[in-house]
Structures are given as C-alpha cells and as structure tokens.
Amino acid sequence: MSPIVVGGPALFLGDGTPCVALVRPELDVNDPGLRLAAEQAGVTPEEFAGESGVWQVMADRTDGEGRSFDLPELADGDAAVFADELLIGLSGTGDCELELADGVLVLTVTSAGEGRSALAARVVPPAAEEGGPLDLELGTLPVAELRDEVAAFRRSLA
C-alpha cells in the first residue's frame, strides 16, 4: 500500500477504531511530500508511489490487529453498487448484509432504533494474501451521518 494518499474516493466506516476503509488513492508523483519521502527512501517518486488508482481495503481493530490489501480487480462501478446497496440498507428498518469483491468485505447493518444502526464487518483477504478473516464491530452509529458519508462517497465516484 502506498503511504501518501493525496486524493481519490474514500469511505470510512466506524467511529475511530475499529474501522474499515475502502479507498482508491490517487497519488501525484509531483507532490513535494511524496518526492521528499521517495528521496529519503532512495527510490524514484514513481517507484515510491506504486500503483495509483487501485482500490484498497483497510481494517483495524482496537487490539492492533488489522488487514490491508489491494483489490486490483475492483472497478469504480463495483464500489458504486456497494455504496448504493448500503444507502438502501440504511434507509430500511430491517437488517441487511452486503458483500464487496466476492466476500472480501462483508458488511452487516442492523437497526438499533432511535435513528441509529449497528455495523459489523468481516474482512477476508484474497487468496493471494496472508492472514485469516478479521471480524470487527464498528459500533452503533447515527444513520443520518452514515447516509451523508456514503452519499458523498457515491458522488465522488460519478
């Protein structure tokens, strides 16, 4: 994963840690911070930046355990469908389960009453990655705020 994110769509779920993020970093090899970091690492800015525009999943738990990996096969359209389904799930009163990238990310949304939803996630690294599944309780969050964040993410994909 590239260490300097200077743009691109990003969806962060959770209230601090634990959290899950779906991001597509856009890196600028002309960014002074990236150029300085590359120089300090002894590589070219292009080598330091790596692949830009590749979707990534990042997950972190309060105990320090986390997962992070690239999803090179994931297209913007797939992320948009996930966002649309999450918006639908947040507008209902029942529970729902959403999958992204053939189960790499499974998100469960449960109504918690009083305008709040409980979110849980399971992050399963692709076969080529090390590590087993990581389960996270993302907390009980205000539905209105979640909908705003997901809608902003969805707009960033248009």
Tens-digit pLDDT profile for residues 27-73: 778 888 888 887 887 888 777 766 667 899 999 998 888 888 889 89
Show the domains of the chain with their CATH numbers.
Answer: 10-156 (2.30.31)
pLDDT higher than 60, residue 2 = no
Q: What is the mean pLDDT of residues 109-117?
A: 92
pLDDT higher than 70, residue 1 = no
Q: In the numeric block, which tokens belong to residue 21?
A: 């993020």
pLDDT higher than 70, residue 3 = no
* Beta strands 105-113 and 134-142, pairing class: unpaired
Evaluate the CA torsion angle 71, 72, 78, 84 in order and state its sign: positive
For residue 149, the model assigns a pLDDT of 96
Residue 127's CB is within 10 A of a number of other CB atoms, namely: 5
11 vs 42, more confident: 11
For residue 10, the model assigns a pLDDT of 93
Q: Is the pTM of this model over 0.85?
A: no
What does pLDDT average to over the chain? 88
pLDDT higher than 90, residue 93 = no
For residue 25, the model assigns a pLDDT of 83
Specify the range with the lowest mean pLDDT, choosing from 20-29, 47-56, 124-133, 147-156.
Answer: 47-56
Res. 144 pLDDT band, cuts 50 70 90: very high
Determine the angle formed by the axes of helices 76-91 and 143-156, rounding to 10 degrees: 160
For residue 4, the model assigns a pLDDT of 42
Q: What is the mean pLDDT of residues 111-138?
A: 91
